Structure 1
Amino acid sequence: MRRFFPLRPLVLTLATGLPLACLADNDGEVAELRRQIQELTQRVDTHQSSLRVLATRLQQLEAASPGQARMVRTADGAQPDASASREPASASAEGSGAEKVVREAPASRSAEAVYREQSAMFDRKFTLETGVSYSHSNRRDLFLNGFLALDAIFLGQINLDRIKADTLTFDLTGRYAPTDRLQFDLNVPYLYRYSAFSSVGAGFSTSAVAERNVSNGDVGDVSAGVFYRLIQESADHPDTVLNFRVKAPTGTSPYGIKFEDSPDSGGNLKLPEKLPTGNGVWAASAGVSFIKTVDPAILFANLGYTHHFDRSFSDISSDPNTRTPGSVRLGDQFSLGAGFAFALNERMSLSTSYSHRFARKARIRQQGQDWQTVNGSDSSAGVLNFGVTYALSDRRSMVFNLGIGVTADAPDITIGVKFPFSF
């Protein structure tokens, strides 16, 4: 690093150190040197004053325009302003004396995409995101209908049912951040579901298998959310973002869907007329997210709670010959998750996370009766996620995610890709 020493003391020292004889003999030359020294000193003072004025003016302009690179002044060395950017600062100094001007590097595109996925960007832009995801689950259930004779021999019917479910989801999401602390979003999904039902033991034969498929597509439950940045990331605190979301029952409700016997199963296999694409009830969720940059990694964690509101239906029975009015109360859900991401370069980052969701048991109430708990309606779903984020340009990026279910209630595998585009 270059060091600039004040010129006035140095030049005066040199001038006073000259031999007296030479000064006496060369009065004209000495006068000329003194004049040049004075001019040079005045120029140095003028440049230093101009630099101070320009640096102050630049700070004022950038303070009035959030999102631009911030200039900070330091007394000794390059000390970046930690609250100005999530990315480390690049130290480039300009000036003279003990005062320097430091410019911070802008956040990388890959890091911005990670922030957008985990909470919100608050970049004062409108973002339109299209995405598609595929999930698959394979579940087997064993049913015993009979009794034990002599505590060793089972007499009755044994059924082994298997359900293979595939879901293809198309998402359209719009996001807008009017300030650097507030963001709104709206999500509209379309679901196409395909389920294969099979049952072993049709007609009391262990070799007979009844199989049928059901598929249909429809709009899912539309949701809207708001994000508020409570604490902005600094050297000591992570980004803390509160979120609130409301989901409307715009999808096909699962209540009142009739189940009919498969023709070749002998009453051993029942199939739904159609598959639901929504929960059928209103839901509200609240949560908090924490994000901290620890160069070169980004750490994140989140907590959430979802409440489902009671809703009455004209029919909640699955029997095609019965119509039963009633109400449904889905169990509330708790969710948590944590993970980290590495920004490999300006455009690409890798992420790993784990998320878990706990759901309480649901309850139903037929008209004129008390609430009854639905056995087996509670769940515990854990998913291990791996993601790759790639910034295609300054406005477009691609987010790929692979989820692997680690509990019986979670989908076996989920694959998704999203394309956010900022305007």
Structure 2
Amino acid sequence: MRLRSFLCATTVCVAVAGYAELGEAQENTADSMAVLKKKVEDQSLLLQNQARELELQRRELDEQRRQLQEILRQQAEGKPPTPSQPQKATAETAPAPTPTPSRASADASEPPADAATRPKEKENRPEQQIAIISDQGGVLTPKGTITIEPTLSASHSSSNRFFFQGVEIVDAVLIGTIEATEARTNIITPQIALRYGLTRRLEISAKVPFVVSSNRVESTIISEQPDTVGKPSYLQNLSGRSLGDIEFGMQYQFNSGRDGWPFIVGNLRAKSTTGRGPFSVSRDHIGLETQLPTGSGFWSVEPSVTMILQSDPAVLFTNLSYIWNMQKDVGFTLGGTHIGKVDPGDVISGSVGIGFALNDKLSMSFGYQHNYIFGTKSRINELPIRSHDFQVGSLLFGVSLAVAPATSVSLSVAVGVTEESPDIEVTLRVPFSFSLGN
């Protein structure tokens, strides 16, 4: 009986303990499910927020892509980029990461001018344009825009020549005539140039110069001959001041310069005879000039091609041209000498250089230009005469400073490296542009 009571009591205790453990397990499972449910709800909310942010970023990326395409289209049409208003972030929109913009390519006329080069919008002002120092064309003036370019150029040339006519007995002992000639020439040329964009790829241009020149030639004759002893030095001072040869032309841009291609610009210029030519200057009673010419006296046509390659932050430019000087019958008679047809020598010219931006306002350029000039053919007293060919080479240096969104100041220096080149030529340009509303 006691054994039965003990077994019953034991069975009841085990059953109670089992029910207690089962209740505790059920309670722990309910807590775990509540925690897991809370985590699932939190993760779902986080995914919804991330999906919302991704959608906003996708919209902003689409808007930036649209703005970039619009800027590229405007550049291809030769228009200045229009700044777009950035989207404002609200409290409900998280700001999307903005990619770093790359520099715009140089869209400077000049060139790539200027020109070459003829050849680049921040806070509502155009990207800094890299000036091409040589006046050889460049990326063109936008359609409906006119550019006015006042220019002041000054050059200096000098030569020292030593002539000896006689017999050399021994070294440093000369019997005959020695003549030493020293010449100095200075030319100042203020001019005004105009360029107008007819279309996004075609512009017309004109240039009106005024030439002020002076020349001083001094010759000293040293001789032991009786008829020349004591002969004084020869001194000649000449000057000229009048309108120069007016130029006009057109430039056409063949391509848009995309996909790594350089800008290719064709140029065609013509130079008139508005200046005073060498056969039109006044002379004294023995036929010597009393004033200097301010023009060539011959029409000329110059076709050329300019290539400008953007390699950020630099611009590479090159130009090749041919100047055809037209012959004419000058019908000039001096004493017993008659000069008939004169065919000035044509010119093959080439240049190459590099320009690079130091910042968004200041740029520099370096280059070299070389001209091969063929000799002049003349008929004097019906006899054909041809002068010698010669070459003119110059090192080019330039700097340009943007002082306003549509105005810059450019200074270039050309230093002669051949005997026939001017010693130095300095040119100051202040181009400014404005739209005519087309």
With the shorter chain as reference, the TM-score category is 0.7 to 0.9
Find the counterpart in structure 2 of residue 395 from structure 1.
Answer: 406
* Aligned with residue 371 of structure 1, among 370, 373, 384: 384
Find the counterpart in structure 2 of residue 281 from structure 1.
Answer: 298
Q: Are 2:263 and 1:252 equivalent residues in the alignment?
A: no
Change in 2 beyond 3 A, CA 1:32/1:360: closer
Q: Are 2:248 and 1:224 equivalent residues in the alignment?
A: yes
Determine the C-alpha separation between the residues in 2 that align with 1:235 and 1:115.
26
Matches within 5 A, 1:295-310: 295-310=312-327
**Which runs of 5 or more structure 1 residues have no equivalent in the other structure?**
1-18, 72-76, 88-102, 263-269
Q: Deviations over 1:390-409 (max 9, x none)?
A: 11111111111111111011
Find the counterpart in structure 2 of residue 416 from structure 1.
Answer: 427
- Structure 1 residue 37, shift from structure 2 partner: 8.9
Change in 2 beyond 3 A, CA 1:181/1:148: same
Q: Which residue identity lines up with residue 183 of structure 1 in the other structure?
A: E
Q: Which residue identity lines up with residue 188 of structure 1 in the other structure?
A: V
Find the counterpart in structure 1 of residue 233 from structure 2.
Answer: 209
Q: Are 2:403 and 1:385 equivalent residues in the alignment?
A: no
Matches within 5 A, 1:16-165: 21=30, 47=56, 54=63, 58=67, 65-66=74-75, 67-68=80-81, 85-86=105-106, 108-109=127-128, 111-114=129-132, 119-124=137-142, 125-144=145-164, 147-148=166-167, 156-165=176-185
Determine the C-alpha separation between the residues in 1 that align with 2:134 and 2:141.
10
Determine the C-alpha separation between the residues in 1 that align with 2:300 and 2:319.
19
- Structure 1 residue 243, shift from structure 2 partner: 1.0
Q: Which residue identity lines up with residue 398 of structure 2 in the other structure?
A: G
- Structure 1 residue 116, shift from structure 2 partner: 9.4
**Which runs of 5 or more structure 2 residues have no equivalent in the other structure?**
1-27, 85-97, 108-120
Determine the C-alpha separation between the residues in 1 that align with 2:367 and 2:64.
43
% of aligned pairs identical? 25
Q: Which residue identity lines up with residue 349 of structure 2 in the other structure?
A: S
* Aligned with residue 188 of structure 2, among 163, 168, 171: 168
Determine the C-alpha separation between the residues in 2 that align with 1:61 and 1:149.
79
> Do 1:291 and 1:301's aligned partners in 2 also have CA atoms closer than 8 Å?
yes
> Do 2:212 and 2:241's aligned partners in 1 also have CA atoms closer than 8 Å?
yes
Q: Deviations over 1:66-120 (max 9, x none)?
A: 432699xxxxx969799x7349xxxxxxxxxxxxxxx9998632x3434995522
Find the counterpart in structure 2 of residue 4 from structure 1.
Answer: none
Find the counterpart in structure 2 of residue 237 from structure 1.
Answer: 261
Find the counterpart in structure 1 of residue 362 from structure 2.
Answer: 348
Q: Deviations over 1:25-64 (max 9, x none)?
A: 89x9999999989986996697578658756765675566
> Do 1:351 and 1:387's aligned partners in 2 also have CA atoms closer than 8 Å?
yes
Change in 2 beyond 3 A, CA 1:43/1:329: same
- Structure 1 residue 295, shift from structure 2 partner: 2.5
> Do 1:193 and 1:275's aligned partners in 2 also have CA atoms closer than 8 Å?
yes
- Structure label with greater radius of gyration: 2
> Do 2:133 and 2:365's aligned partners in 1 also have CA atoms closer than 8 Å?
no
Change in 2 beyond 3 A, CA 1:134/1:116: closer
SS, match of residue 369 in structure 2 = strand
Find the counterpart in structure 2 of residue 292 from structure 1.
Answer: 309
Q: Which residue identity lines up with residue 306 of structure 2 in the other structure?
A: S
Q: Which residue identity lines up with residue 309 of structure 1 in the other structure?
A: M
State the TM-score, normalized to the length of structure 1: 0.73
Determine the C-alpha separation between the residues in 2 that align with 1:279 and 1:222.
11
> Do 2:106 and 2:130's aligned partners in 1 also have CA atoms closer than 8 Å?
no
Q: Which has the higher contact order (CA 8 A, sep 6+)?
A: 2
> Do 2:130 and 2:357's aligned partners in 1 also have CA atoms closer than 8 Å?
no
- Structure 1 residue 141, shift from structure 2 partner: 3.1
Change in 2 beyond 3 A, CA 1:104/1:128: closer
How many pairs does the alignment contain? Answer: 370
Determine the C-alpha separation between the residues in 2 that align with 1:342 and 1:81.
16
Find the counterpart in structure 2 of residue 265 from structure 1.
Answer: none
Determine the C-alpha separation between the residues in 1 that align with 2:376 and 2:217.
24
Q: Deviations over 1:153-185 (max 9, x none)?
A: 866543322221110111100011233322221
State the TM-score, normalized to the length of structure 2: 0.71
Determine the C-alpha separation between the residues in 1 that align with 2:133 and 2:240.
35
> Do 1:197 and 1:271's aligned partners in 2 also have CA atoms closer than 8 Å?
no
Determine the C-alpha separation between the residues in 1 that align with 2:357 and 2:43.
58
Determine the C-alpha separation between the residues in 2 that align with 1:21 and 1:182.
81
Determine the C-alpha separation between the residues in 1 that align with 2:344 and 2:327.
7
Q: Which residue identity lines up with residue 301 of structure 1 in the other structure?
A: T
Determine the C-alpha separation between the residues in 1 that align with 2:372 and 2:413.
21
> Do 1:387 and 1:401's aligned partners in 2 also have CA atoms closer than 8 Å?
yes
Determine the C-alpha separation between the residues in 2 that align with 1:30 and 1:404.
79
- Structure 1 residue 224, shift from structure 2 partner: 1.0
> Do 1:402 and 1:415's aligned partners in 2 also have CA atoms closer than 8 Å?
yes
Find the counterpart in structure 2 of residue 8 from structure 1.
Answer: none
- Structure 1 residue 311, shift from structure 2 partner: 1.2
Determine the C-alpha separation between the residues in 2 that align with 1:398 and 1:34.
62
> Do 1:23 and 1:30's aligned partners in 2 also have CA atoms closer than 8 Å?
no
